[in-house]
Amino acid sequence: MQLKIIYQDEHYVAVDKPPGLLVHRSRIARDRVFALQLLRDQIGRRVYPVHRLDRATSGVLIFGLSGAAAGRLADAFSTHRVDKAYLAVARGWTAEHGVIDHPVADEDGNGVAQSARTHYRRLATVELPYAVDRYPSSRYSLLSVNPESGRRQQIRKHFKHISHHLIGDTTHGNGRHNRFFRAQLGITRLLLTAHRLTFVHPYDAGRVSISAPPDADWALIARIFGWSL
């Protein structure tokens, strides 16, 4: 597998992570292929993780080309100095915008809840003439999502909390709607992607914005639903 490199300078390299790929080894998974390993072999040098995306989430994933560089940018993530913008498709029509402020279990998975906030803005809606649930038609929302914190599966858990489950989420989602997207549209993955990261470069103080273009699944959804991504 070749990862798509979407940004590189002397300190950092970013890729467009496909869904289903872990960032690095995890004690809770038996995977033998990881983004870190693939990128290391692809560019022929060590890379150092800065942040994390869930296995099921696609999009912008950045690594440091040295431990020091990774540490500087990781500190910007931990102190909320990185703007993280996601695209998501949720069940139902959400409010036009909102903030979900609800604790979620910590990243170590030990059940301890920590504070977490997620901002969202509704970009578009669609109503389909299919009785997927208990209503005669089914509604979906295209969302721009900006998490303040970075708890494990935070976005997915937050949209479950407000009963607007993300499509394709097999852990926190709604099975009926997931099956509908699989059967009718051939969409078999989580519709959540980190489509842009924006930050002040830790070394030259310039503003950096890294975007991942819509992949084939997102392009299909946009075409069928008449959405502009």
Judge contact between 143 and 123, C-beta under 8 A: yes
Q: How far apart are CA 114 and CA 21, in angstroms?
A: 26
Alpha carbon 111 to chain centroid distance?
Answer: 22
Q: Residue 45 corresponds to which tokens in the numbers above?
A: 């040098």
Q: List 117's β-bridge partners, or say none.
A: 101
Residue in the structure block whose two tokens are 């170590």: 108
Residue in the structure block whose two tokens are 């693939």: 38
Respond yes or no: is residue 9 known to be catalytic.
no
Q: Residue 101 corresponds to which tokens in the numbers above?
A: 């402020």
Q: Which residue from 201, 166, 180 is spatially nearest to 81, judged by alpha carbons?
A: 201
Judge contact between 83 and 211, C-beta under 8 A: no
Exposed / middle / buried, residue 135 (Cβ in 10 Å: 0-12, 13-18, 19+): exposed
List 16, 54, 169, 217, catalytic entry: 54
Residues serving a catalytic function are 54
